[in-house]
Amino acid sequence: MARFFQPKKRSALDTKHQAVSVQKLDHLGAGIAYIDKKPVFIDGALADEEVLIQLSESKSKFARAKLIKVLKPSKQRIAPFCPHYSQCGGCDLQHLSHEAQIEHKQQALSQLMTKFSGQELTLSAPVACSEKGYRRRARISMMWDKKSQQLQFGFRRKQSKDIVTVTDCAVLEPSLNALLPELKALLSGFKKPDQLGHIELVKGDNTSVLVLRHLAPLADKDVAALKDFSQKHQLTLYVVPDANQLNKVMGEQAYYQEVGVTIPFLPNNFIQVNQQVNQRMVEQALEWLDVQKDDRVLDLFCGLGNFSLPLAKLADKVVGIEGVDEMVEIAKSNALHNNIKNVEFYQANLEQEFIGEIWAKEQFNKVLLDPARAGAVGIVDQLSSLGAEQVVYVSCNPATLARDSQSLLEQGYQLKKLGMLDMFPHTSHLESMALFVKI
């Protein structure tokens, strides 16, 4: 007898409001409550709170819910300082005091790494910073609202593509933040405001940068107004008429300085958004690696030379590896700019085996790696073959750090130091640094 597939009927989601007790926070800062022993993740809820929720998603092993009302607040709950907080997707932890944010991130990192390393860990003091005015770069979204005939100008709404109008952002570097109201007024008067893409603002040590993405040619009058605005505020101006085209209109190339080196950059290059923490992060990496004059250091995912160039000031030789050709060329140029001759840069796909690569034929007694959120899968498995005695791993994702640490432990390394870097206050993003030593 033939059998026909009959899909299971989906059970209707129970959207009735219900009160729950929040037990703890997950590593992303969401509150966790339990309904029938199933964890329910609630953005905006804090540990030890009684809250009213509405389920938004229910899976076999977990559920998600919308926070409707806080019935009994935590002692750590505070009033957000930003009037846009309930809508804007830029920050997600302003309802938790900054000190408590740091404590939570420290605990989340410690618990995760203790689980994977199998050893009790004492975290180093967190690298913290000012909780406001810390962002030295931002992307401003724009969209022309045909109905209201207004330019929407600001940041994306939480979990949405809609734009929340923002002309005052407390976490943005003050001189950049001061530009927002006048910039919105300027662009609202353009001939074709419906053909504007987005704005990028970046603060360098010598100049601030304004980048305008536009989807149709700009009118001469609008170009002149943009130049006048940039000259008035001493900005370096770029326009992006195409996604792959960056045209400098006026101004000097931006750079930032750290630990005895100067690093020029283009506005489409990756640089850390928090200069204060980046400076201290580089200093801590140099300290943890204990770089000596006879050391040979490999810097993986080196970017523009953020770590490579300061390392080269102390070591015998540094080799930086980066996956993007353009970044490699800029890193080479930055080394020449600083008159640093004991550093070399190469392009390589760090997800593949490096056997046969010129740089891999050398031995390195110390390694630093600073991968993207996906981690260092592939390359991390090969570090011991390079002769590395010490490895500093800088991570923007504790989950991939924990995963990659397993490989290092299996290669005979021991986790010696671990610390949290408060790169993104008021957000759930968790930056960290770990030191592994060969035993």
Last residue of a domain, one of 218, 234, 250: 250
Give the catalytic positions in this structure.
396
User: Do 30 and 57 fall within a single domain?
Assistant: yes
- Roughly how many angstroms between the first and final C-alpha of the chain, as a whole number? 65
The domain that holds 314 is classified in CATH as 3.40.50.150
How many residues appear in the chain?
Answer: 439
pLDDT in tens, 304-344: 999 999 999 999 999 999 999 999 999 999 999 999 999 99
CA 230 to chain centroid:
28
User: Do 203 and 154 fall within a single domain?
Assistant: yes
User: Do 367 and 326 fall within a single domain?
Assistant: yes
289 CB contacts (<8 Å, ≥6 apart)?
295, 297, 311, 366, 368, 390, 392, 435
Is residue 2 one of the residues assigned to a domain? Answer: no
pLDDT in tens, 195-238: 999 999 999 999 999 999 999 999 999 999 999 999 999 999 99
Burial of 146 (0-12, 13-18, 19+ CB in 10 A): exposed
pLDDT in tens, 73-88: 999 999 999 999 999 9
> How much is the pLDDT for 122?
84
Q: Are 268 and 248 in contact (CB under 8 A)?
A: no
pLDDT tier at 3, thresholds 50, 70, 90:
low
> Looking at the predicted structure, is the pLDDT value of residue 8 above 60?
no
Task: Determine if residue 284 is left, alpha or beta; phi over 0 gives left, psi from -120 to 50 gives alpha, anything else beta.
Answer: alpha
Beta strands in 323-424 (DSSP E): 343-347, 366-369, 390-395, 413-421
For residue 42 the two structure tokens come to: 């609630």
User: Do 143 and 123 fall within a single domain?
Assistant: no
In this structure, are strands 431-438 and 245-250 parallel, antiparallel, or unpaired?
Answer: unpaired
For residue 267 the two structure tokens come to: 């506005």
> Looking at the predicted structure, is the pLDDT value of residue 429 above 80?
yes
> How much is the pLDDT for 243?
86
User: Do 423 and 322 fall within a single domain?
Assistant: yes
Question: Coil, helix or strand for 21?
Answer: strand
> Looking at the predicted structure, is the pLDDT value of residue 4 above 70?
no
pLDDT, average across residues 94-110: 94
> How much is the pLDDT for 6?
56
Q: How far apart are CA 112 and CA 304, in angstroms?
A: 31
pLDDT in tens, 31-86: 999 999 999 999 999 999 999 999 999 999 999 999 999 999 999 999 999 999 99
> How much is the pLDDT for 351?
84
> How much is the pLDDT for 11?
63
Range of the domain at 154: 137-250
Q: Which of 415, 433, 278 is nearest to 371 (CA)?
A: 433
Is residue 6 one of the residues assigned to a domain? Answer: no
> How much is the pLDDT for 10?
57
Last residue of a domain, one of 217, 234, 250: 250
User: Do 287 and 397 fall within a single domain?
Assistant: yes
Q: How far apart are CA 139 and CA 137, in angstroms?
A: 7
Please state the pTM of the whole predicted model: 0.92
Q: How far apart are CA 36 and CA 16, in angstroms?
A: 16
User: Do 418 and 288 fall within a single domain?
Assistant: yes
For residue 368 the two structure tokens come to: 């630093």
> Looking at the predicted structure, is the pLDDT value of residue 5 above 70?
no
Is residue 85 one of the residues assigned to a domain? Answer: no
> Looking at the predicted structure, is the pLDDT value of residue 17 above 90?
yes
Is residue 22 one of the residues assigned to a domain? Answer: yes
Quote the number of domains for the chain: 3
> Looking at the predicted structure, is the pLDDT value of residue 352 above 90?
no
> Looking at the predicted structure, is the pLDDT value of residue 9 above 60?
no
Last residue of a domain, one of 250, 284, 301: 250
User: Do 188 and 112 fall within a single domain?
Assistant: no
Q: What percent of the chain has pLDDT over 70?
A: 97
CB neighbours of residue 388 within 10 Å:
24
Annotated binding residues for [4Fe-4S] cluster, as ranges?
Answer: 82, 88, 91, 169
> How much is the pLDDT for 102?
95
Annotated binding residues, as ranges?
Answer: 82, 88, 91, 169, 272, 301, 306, 322, 349, 370
> How much is the pLDDT for 177?
98
> How much is the pLDDT for 116?
82
For residue 44 the two structure tokens come to: 């905006």
pLDDT, average across residues 426-437: 96
Q: How far apart are CA 104 and CA 74, in angstroms?
A: 14
Mean pLDDT of the residues in the chain: 94
> How much is the pLDDT for 247?
97
Using alpha carbons only, how large is the chain's radius of gyration in Å?
24
The domain that holds 45 is classified in CATH as 2.40.50.140
Q: What percent of the chain has pLDDT over 90?
A: 87
Is residue 180 one of the residues assigned to a domain? Answer: yes
Tokens 């609630």 belong to 42
Q: How far apart are CA 232 and CA 245, in angstroms?
A: 25
3-state helix, strand, coil in the chain (%, to 5): 25, 30, 45
Q: What is the largest CA-CA distance in the chain?
A: 82
Alpha helix segments (H runs only) across 57-144: 98-117
Q: How far apart are CA 163 and CA 161, in angstroms?
A: 6
Is residue 13 one of the residues assigned to a domain? Answer: no
The domain that holds 167 is classified in CATH as 2.40.50.1070
For residue 379 the two structure tokens come to: 């390359």
pLDDT tier at 378, thresholds 50, 70, 90:
confident
Tokens 């011991």 belong to 384
pLDDT in tens, 233-266: 999 999 999 988 999 999 999 999 999 999 999 9
For residue 291 the two structure tokens come to: 């770089």
Instruction: Out of 1-10, 141-150, 221-230, pick the least confident.
Output: 1-10
> How much is the pLDDT for 120?
78
Is residue 77 one of the residues assigned to a domain? Answer: no
pLDDT, average across residues 342-361: 88
User: Do 386 and 289 fall within a single domain?
Assistant: yes
